[in-house]
Amino acid sequence: MKMSWLNRKRIDDDIMTATVNDEGVPVIIEQGNKSINHNLVDNRLVTLKEPASISAEQFRILCTRIAQLRQDAGSYVLAVTSSIKSEGKSFTSLNLAISIARDFDEKVLLIEGDLKNPGLYEYLKHPPGFGLTDVLEGKIDIDACIVQMFDGQLSVLFAGKTTGNPSKLLSSLKMQEILTTAREQYKYIIIDTPPIMPMADINIYSTLVDGILLVIQAGKTPRSLVKKAISTLAADKIVGAVLNGVEPIHSRYYYGSGYDSY
Ligand SMILES: Nc1ncnc2c1ncn2[C@@H]1O[C@H](COP(=O)(O)OP(=O)(O)O)[C@@H](O)[C@H]1O
Ligand SMILES: [Mg+2]
């Protein structure tokens, strides 16, 4: 017997095997492609593709700052957001997570929290499959859909199926449980969250995370918009800003991402 949700085209039969337990509930026993070949990922992941670049160096500086924030706490959960979409949240979250895993040799979990516009699949060239949405809906255990890179140093929880009402799902107790359990397993948890505007879904995450990092697209996002966006956030949670896409002419920040204390 197969439950209907298992029949969706999205879930490729040949990468997935399922069985049914005594209660008639499908139990996923294996999801294929559980690891990502880091040689194949997108060239925009500068921390991996150009580790000697100024941009990769900026990410290492950012890692050091996050490590300082964690101090002796067991874990640190960081939400990466921006005023509007396409300012580089996914770019920043991924490069930061890679740098923590590779340069700092720490275990990190990267969660795709932008359920409406997930960007991590494309960067990591990973086919859509189960992810956070499915875990929140109770369809699959989190361990069955976490995908690993660098021998498990970096774990990625993709978005999963696009859902009509992410806000409701994210507000559920289950999301809190996911993070509580993750805190026991990872020193660093990075959540690539939705932009602050127009929906302010980020505020759902605000209460669950230790810090919020604001990505600002340099030279493009108007200052007034950034100010307005920040005013809707829990101010005490904002730990810094990344000026993304700075041209070399701005000597203070160089090309790529510059980090600024907020
Ligand atoms: N520093 C950067 N250098 C080069 N391309 C970038 C940089 N930051 C973002 N981009 C590109 O800009 C686009 C939007 O970035 P993305 O990280 O997907 O934004 P968001 O997650 O905030 O919606 C993508 O095509 C991404 O590759
Ligand atoms: Mg994104």
pLDDT at site 250: 42
pLDDT at site 102: 94
Provide CB contacts within 8 A for 145, sequence distance 6+: 31, 129, 130, 131, 134, 135, 157, 158, 160
- Greatest Cα pair distance, the chain, in angstroms, is 65
**Closest ligand by atom to 84 CA:** 1
**Closest ligand by atom to 120 CA:** 2
Residue ranges, the chain, pLDDT below 50: 1-32, 249-256, 261-262
Q: pTM of the prediction?
A: 0.84
**Closest ligand by atom to 49 CA:** 1
Task: Count, in order, helices (H) and strands (E) of the chain.
Answer: 10, 10
- The 3-state DSSP class for residue 230 equals helix
Angle between helices 89-102 and 54-70 (to 10 degrees): 80
- Residues with Cβ–ion distance below 5 A, ligand 2: 89-90, 114, 119
pLDDT digit string, tens, across residues 149-170? 998 999 999 999 877 788 888 9
pLDDT at site 224: 93
Distance CA 99, CA 46 (A): 10
Residue ID of nearest Cα to ligand 1 atom 20: 86
What Cα–Cα distance (Å) separates residue 12 from each residue in 8, 58, 131?
8, 39, 14
Distance CA 39, CA 46 (A): 12
Q: Is the CB of 76 under 6 A from ligand 1?
A: no
What the block records as the tokens of 159 is 């978005």
Residue ID of nearest Cα to ligand 1 atom 14: 86
| CA 121 to mean position of chain CA atoms | 11
Q: How far is the CA of 243 from the centre of ligand 2 (A)?
A: 16
Q: How far is the CA of 12 from the centre of ligand 1 (A)?
A: 29
First to last CA, the chain: 55
Q: Provide the β-strand partners of residue 111.
A: 157, 191
pLDDT at site 33: 58
Q: How far is the CA of 88 from the centre of ligand 1 (A)?
A: 4
**Closest ligand by atom to 85 CA:** 1
Q: What is the helix (H) or strand (E) element at residue 55, kind and residue range?
A: helix 54-70
Q: How far is the CA of 69 from the centre of ligand 2 (A)?
A: 24
For ligand 1, what atom is nearest to the CA of residue 245?
A: 1
CA torsion, ordered 51, 52, 53, 56, to nearest 10 deg:
40
Backbone angles phi and psi of 83, in degrees to 5: -65, -50
Closest Cα to residue 202, out of 172, 170, 226? 170
pLDDT at site 43: 83
Closest Cα to residue 148, out of 12, 13, 37, 11? 37
- Domains along the chain? 1-32 (no CATH), 33-261 (3.40.50.300)
Q: Is the CB of 91 under 6 A from ligand 1?
A: yes
Distance CA 239, CA 69 (A): 9
For ligand 1, what atom is nearest to the CA of residue 255?
A: 1
Q: Is the CB of 113 under 6 A from ligand 1?
A: no
Sheet containing strand 211-217, edge to edge, reads: 147-149, 154-157, 108-112, 188-192, 76-82, 211-217, 238-246, 256-261
